[in-house]
Chains A and B, each alone.
Chain A
Amino acid sequence: MRNLELCGVSQRYGSRTVLRDITLSLKAGSCTMLYGSNGAGKSTVLRLAAGRERPSAGCVELDGRLVREEDVYSRTRIAAVLGPPACYPDLTVEEHFLLIATSHGSRDAPKVAQSIVDQLGLATHSDSLPFQLSAGLMQLVALGSALARPREVLLLDEPEQHLDVSRRQSLIEWVAEDLRAGVAVMIATHDPQLVAALADDVAVLEEGHLVARGRPADLVQRGGAAHCIFCGQTR
């Protein structure tokens, strides 16, 4: 069972400190939601957890090993969908999934790719190149890329962006399936539906500080600043 740990992590960009002493742990089969207003530091936490940035202080570890984007150990275990979707302009939708599945040594990569295309409802766009897709379809391709590969940790930054209502419901089902398979999930979101359906644990961030952490129901009952942020956003 994999554990991702953020131990006393701080992050500074120049003289500006965007995260201060954040400690979080992700356990297999559990979903942690990052909650907070814009600029609170949610995306920075995810980038640090994915190894895309190195923290100014503290450390990020997966099973006791430092997480770094260039490290094969981290790359093969952590699937992250962060920021704007990045696709190869010369590959079609299905070929993206095929490349990723093959690279990870999937036994029957063409079938995997085809199943993801069907699962995401992209059958009519499977032969399209990325520049022919809308923002919502690009987001689906990004999510599909994470589904096409083996993963033990899944990091998603506002995955509900650009998705319609039915696709948001499908997103919940995909993540729930991952949780059942023992994947540790961390999601930054503003969508109360996602929180209500998936969250085992909510971490509330405010101006780079972790101001509260707990189960959603506990946060609602606890009151205080975290309650205001959490309930204000969910409302």
Chain B
Amino acid sequence: MHLLRPDALAQRARSLLRSLRPKPRAQSIYVAYVVCVMACLYVVPYGAVGADYLRFLDSDVAARGAAAFPVAVAAVILGLLSVSVHDGSWRGSVRAEAAEIDWVISGPLSWPRLMMSRVVSTALTLSVCGAGAAAVSGAVSTVLRHERITVPGIVQAAIAGAFVGLICCACNVMSQVFLRPDSARVVATSLRVGAAVAATVALIAALRHQGLELPAALWWSGPWGWMAIVTGDVFPSAAADTIALLLCVALGLTTAAVAALGVIRIQAAALRSRAGRYDGVLAALMSADTRLAGQLTELGQRRRPRRRHPPARGPLSACLWHVVTGWVRQPGPPAAGLVWVAAGVLLPTVWLDDPPPAAAVGVLLVYRGVSLLLENVRLQTDDVHRSAHLPQALASTMLSVCRIGASVAVGGAVIVIAISGHLGYAPSMGSVLVAATIPAAAVAVAVTACRGQLPLELLIGAETPFGNSGPAQVALWFAQVPVALVVFSAVVSSIVPSATGSALTGDNAIATLSATAASMAFLWVMVAWLRGRVAALLQS
């Protein structure tokens, strides 16, 4: 056996430790970079607005800045979440899936390809988050200004907001390693991103060709809009938005190219050795995996005494106690669920010009919100024998959980409708329909939770003139319950036309009753579906 001498051993240890030491130069460059990006995104535009206001005391300029403020808050939160990772490190989901990574390293998969796929998935997640935040915040901003919301406006805001996510992701990735030049990769990445940007510009050009005005969306969100505030003072208004878009694209392209260069050099072993719990939690948050983030947070609190909650008083409240304990222990998902429910209920009220799609989208938002409130249902079906010692059958337990989640969601919806009515937005019939669908949506979540394993025969599919039907079958299998909800809301909206298009008044009480009765019938169908699924799950 070869033994190292003490001095050689010490030298080896020093060389190993050197790679783990913090790199002050790299860190300072990263900090400078983050400061520049944040300045470009937030400080410069608002500084310009403020300077304009101070110079000309132009109330219109001030109003535009104020209108964009709610959007800025959402985007700043997203940006800070993404770029303020400790030590500027991007962990992706490596910390979360160490076992998988171990397997991958010893397997035949390509490590760079795997890492690139993780970058793409993180970028997509952050872009979607940015787009969603921008669209919702833009809508809120528009409502606050007493203007009408338009579909193209929301789409344009979403496009603008997506840039925030892309840039934030790129910032994080490029900070992970120090990079070496690789011109081929730079060119390839730039071409790919350029193609995507060209498609986006073409889409915007097409929208504008339709006579849709872009500047209305500029104030909504994202660096695109904020750069336009600055460039609008320099260039003619027609060119300002395009120039702002190009500036924004240039920033995104630069960071994306640098990120693509760096990511393949990230070493899995180094990531694992350096990743701590804090990084893991942030990585889980960045990949929108709140459940994992909660688990990692719990792991970090191992030595602290567990929070105590008052015990249940009797058998009837045991289920409620269990659900509430889960909510208190991980308050993020239920809080987010209530926000989704509120958005779903409000959507038909603020989107009066196109009611049936508003009701369908509202029902989907409510479904998403209720699914976050009903995490306990998933715990019951992950392993059907967890409830083996409880006196109630599994289906009864799941229905109890659904009742609790639906009650909270309905309560939240009623409060939201009341507040919006108090603020002068009369609740539409569509909002009533969406709120009445909440119990059925809750049971639908339970149905989804116990759908079991994907039938493998669906993967095979059949040859059609449009190609193999396998992917479509699989997608439909995963989305069957939400699809059923959308179909239901579309059918009810078309059968009861007045149920969505008008404000809630005494004249359309019959329509209200019809929509509610239809929702109850749908609830009955869902409960029957759930019982069938649970029986099948127990026998599988």
Complex alpha-carbon distance, A76 and B396, angstroms: 14
Q: Please tell me if B29 contacts chain A, counting CB pairs below 8 Å.
A: no
Chain B min CB distance to A134 (Å)? 14
Q: Mark A136-150, 1 if CB is under 8 A from B, else 0.
A: 000000000110110
Q: A90-B326, A90-B329, A91-B325 are in contact. Are A72 and B391 (CB under 8 A)?
A: yes
B312 x A145 contact (CB < 8 A): no
Chain A min CB distance to B506 (Å)? 46
Task: Specify which of A91, A104, A145 is in contact with B391 (CB 8 Å cutoff).
Answer: A104
Task: Specify which of A80, A100, A105, A149 is in contact with B314 (CB 8 Å cutoff).
Answer: A105
User: Residue on B with the closest CB to A103?
Assistant: B318
A82 CB contacts on chain B under 8 angstroms = 385
Task: Tell me whether chain B's interface is mostly helix, strand or loop, or mixed.
Answer: helix
User: Residue on B with the closest CB to A78?
Assistant: B388
B312 x A109 contact (CB < 8 A): yes
A75 x B330 contact (CB < 8 A): no
A102 x B314 contact (CB < 8 A): yes
Q: Please tell me if A218 contacts chain B, counting CB pairs below 8 Å.
A: no
B390 CB contacts on chain A under 8 angstroms = 75, 99-100, 103
Q: A86-B386, A87-B386, A102-B315 are in contact. Are A72 and B393 (CB under 8 A)?
A: yes
A70 x B389 contact (CB < 8 A): no
A104 CB contacts on chain B under 8 angstroms = 315, 391
A88 x B386 contact (CB < 8 A): yes
Q: Mark B387-399, 1 if CB is under 8 A from A, else 0.
A: 0111111110000
Number of A-B contacts (CB under 8 A): 86
User: Residue on A with the closest CB to B385?
Assistant: A86
A98 x B311 contact (CB < 8 A): yes
Q: Mark A84-108, 1 if CB is under 8 A from B, else 0.
A: 0011111110010011101111000
Q: Mark B528-540, 1 if CB is under 8 A from A, else 0.
A: 0000000100110
B311 CB contacts on chain A under 8 angstroms = 98, 102, 109-110
Q: Mark A110-136, 1 if CB is under 8 A from B, else 0.
A: 100000000000000001110110000
A103 x B392 contact (CB < 8 A): yes
Give the segment of B179-187, B298-306, B438-446 that binds chain A.
Answer: B298-306
B148 CB contacts on chain A under 8 angstroms = none
Complex alpha-carbon distance, A86 and B318, angstroms: 19
Q: Please tell me if B321 contacts chain A, counting CB pairs below 8 Å.
A: yes
A75 x B393 contact (CB < 8 A): yes
B379 x A88 contact (CB < 8 A): yes
Chain A min CB distance to B35 (Å)? 40
B389 CB contacts on chain A under 8 angstroms = 79, 100, 145-146, 148-149
User: Residue on B with the closest CB to A144?
Assistant: B389
Task: Specify which of A80, A89, A103, A129 is in contact with B315 (CB 8 Å cutoff).
Answer: A103
Complex alpha-carbon distance, A12 and B386, angstroms: 26
Q: Please tell me if A173 contacts chain B, counting CB pairs below 8 Å.
A: no
A70 x B394 contact (CB < 8 A): yes
**Within A149-203, which residues are at the interface with B (CB < 8 Å)?**
149
Complex alpha-carbon distance, A92 and B393, angstroms: 22
A92 x B306 contact (CB < 8 A): yes
A90 x B391 contact (CB < 8 A): no
B393 CB contacts on chain A under 8 angstroms = 69-72, 75
Complex alpha-carbon distance, A79 and B390, angstroms: 10
Chain B min CB distance to A91 (Å)? 7
A90 x B392 contact (CB < 8 A): no
Complex alpha-carbon distance, A67 and B306, angstroms: 38
A102 x B391 contact (CB < 8 A): no
User: Residue on A with the closest CB to B302?
Assistant: A132
Q: Please tell me if B383 contacts chain A, counting CB pairs below 8 Å.
A: yes
Q: Please tell me if A83 contacts chain B, counting CB pairs below 8 Å.
A: yes
A129 x B298 contact (CB < 8 A): yes
A105 CB contacts on chain B under 8 angstroms = 314-315
Complex alpha-carbon distance, A149 and B391, angstroms: 9
Q: Please tell me if B494 contacts chain A, counting CB pairs below 8 Å.
A: no
User: Residue on B with the closest CB to A92?
Assistant: B306
Chain B min CB distance to A59 (Å)? 17
Complex alpha-carbon distance, A131 and B302, angstroms: 11
Q: Residues of B with Cβ closer than 8 Å to A?
A: 295, 298-299, 302, 305-306, 311-312, 314-315, 317-319, 321-322, 325-326, 329-330, 376, 379, 383, 385-386, 388-395, 535, 538-539
Can you identify 18 A-B contacts, CB atoms within 8 angstroms? A52-B385, A69-B388, A69-B393, A70-B393, A70-B535, A82-B385, A83-B385, A86-B385, A89-B379, A90-B325, A95-B325, A102-B321, A103-B315, A103-B318, A105-B315, A109-B311, A145-B389, A146-B389
Which 9 pairs of residues, A with B, have the shortest CB-CB distance? A127-B306, A70-B393, A102-B318, A103-B318, A86-B385, A102-B312, A86-B386, A90-B326, A86-B383
Using A69-B393, A102-B315 as known contacts, list a sample of 18 further A-B pairs with CB atoms less than 8 Å apart, ordered by residue number in A: A52-B385, A54-B539, A69-B388, A72-B393, A75-B390, A87-B386, A88-B386, A90-B326, A90-B329, A90-B330, A99-B318, A99-B322, A100-B389, A102-B311, A103-B392, A110-B311, A128-B302, A132-B299
